[in-house]
Structure 1
Amino acid sequence: MSMVDAVRREFHDARHHCWAFRLAPELARERSSDDGEPSGSAGKPILAQLEGAALYATTVVVVRWFGGTKLGVGGLVRAYGEAARAVLDAAKREHVVRTTRIVFEHPYEASSAVEKFLAEQGIRPTEQAFGTSVHLEFDIRIDRASAFTRDLVDRTSGRGKVIEP
C-alpha cells in the first residue's frame, strides 16, 4: 500500500487527498495530483514547496475537507502551498546517501594491496568469505562506485574482478 493510500484510508471522510513526491535527483522523477481540485491548484503548489526546499525522497499529502467556503483557484493554490510549507517546516529531515552494493573477488596474493586500498578509502567490507579466492561486498555511494571499482581492480593489477550482485 502506498503512503497516499494509507492517508486516504486514515482520512476516508475527506474530500481531497492532494499530493506530490520527488525521488532522488539522478532519477529525475517527480509527480503530483490535484485529486479532483481544479487543474494545477493543489499538486503543483505542493510540488513547488518540495522543489523550493530542495527535498528528494519525500512525499507530501495534504488532506482537505470542504468547509462550505469556495476558495477559488488562487485561494486553493495558496492554501495547498501554505499547508505543504508548514508541514515541511515542522518535519524532521534526514540526510540520505544512496549506495550500491559492489561484490568483488580477488586472489589471496592481492589481499595486502586490497586491504591497503580499503584503508586509504576508509571503507570496510559488509561481508567477507574465504574460499578459493577472497569474496568481499561493499556498500558504496553511487557517485563513487565507478571510480572505486576501477581503482580497486587496478590495485590488484587486474587480478580482481567485480561480480554482478
Structure 2
Amino acid sequence: MMDQITDKYKTIAAPSEGIYKEKGSKFITYAYPVYSEEDIKEHVSALKDKYYDARHHCFAWQLGVDGNRYRANDDGEPSGTAGKPIHGQIKSHELTNILVVVVRYFGGTKLGVPGLIHAYKEATIDAINNAEIVEKTVNDIYQVNFDYLVMNDIMKIVKDEDLQLVDQQFDLSCTIEFSLRQSQVERVVARMEKIDSAKCEYLRTV
C-alpha cells in the first residue's frame, strides 16, 4: 500500500541552545531545524565567526526520512569523540532535518577520549531537551493543468483529499498548484488524471 510510505518525521520546531561544563572546558550547543546542506553551511559558518576564539566547532547533521544523509565532524578533536556522539543523540531521539553544533572552549585540563565523548553527548542532550520536538510530514508540490469545464471535478478532489492549495490560475485553461503528503501522491494523481484534460506534474518536495 502506498499509504504505508514513510512520510512522517520528527524534528525541532525552532533553534535551541544547551551548555555543558567539565574541568574548566565549556561546551556551548546550538541545534537548528535545517532542510538543505546550504542551510547547514550557513549556520556552521555563522557560529565559527561568532565564536572565532573557540578551540573547536564540532557538529553533526541529518537530513531526510531514510537516515542515509548525515555527517559528523570532529573539527580537530580526536576521531570519533565529538561528531559521532552528537550524531548518536540525534539518532537516539529519532530526529532528522536537524543540525547540532557544539562549540568548545578548552579549560586547560584534557578530558581524555571517554570524557570528551561524554561531554559532547551531554551538551547535545541539553540542547535537544530545551527544544520543542514536532512531527512533520514530507510533502510534494504538484501542478495540475485542466480545462475550465472540468473545474468542479478537480475541486471536488481537492476538497475530498483535503489538499493545500499553493497557487491557482483560472481561465479557459486552468492551473492549480497543491501540496500533499507523499503517501497520498499515487492515489490523488491517479484520481485527477482520470478526468478528461487533466494532467499532473511534480514540481518539488518540501
Relative to the length of structure 2, the TM-score reads 0.73
Q: Which ranges in structure 2 are unaligned for 5 or more consecutive residues? A: 1-40
Deviations 1:10-64 (A, max 9, x none): 1111101110001111472010100000100000000000000001111000111
Segment of structure 1 superposing worse, 131-140 or 49-58: 131-140
Are 1:57 and 2:97 matched, yes or no?
yes
Of 48, 52, 60, the residue aligned with 1:12 is 52
- Residues 92 and 124 of structure 1: CA distance in aligned 2, closer, same or farther (over 3 Å): closer
**Shift >3 Å, 4+ stretches:** none
> 1:132: which partner in 2?
172
| 1:86 partner letter | D
Shift of 1:82: 0.8
Match of 2:200 in 1: 162
User: Which structure dedicates a bigger proportion of its chain to strand?
Assistant: 2
Is 1:92 equivalent to 2:139 in the alignment? no
Higher RCO (CA < 8 A, seq sep 6+): 2
Residue correspondence of structure 1 range 5-154 to structure 2 within 5 A: 5-26=45-66, 28-154=68-194
SS in 2 for 1:35: coil
Larger radius of gyration between Structure 1 and Structure 2: 1
Deviation at 1:91, TM superposition (A): 1.4
Deviations, residues 74-124 of structure 1 (Å, cap 9, x unaligned): 110011011101111111233333322211011223222212222111224
For 1:109 and 1:102, locate their aligned partners in 2 and report how far apart those are by CA, in whole Å.
Answer: 20
The TM-score, its normalising length taken from structure 1, stands at 0.90
Unaligned runs of 5+ in 1: none
Query: How many angstroms does 1:8 deviate by?
Result: 0.9
**SS of corresponding position for 1:159:** coil
Sequence identity (%): 34
User: How many corresponding residue pairs?
Assistant: 163
Task: Give the 3-state SS of the residue equivalent to 1:30 in structure 2.
Answer: strand
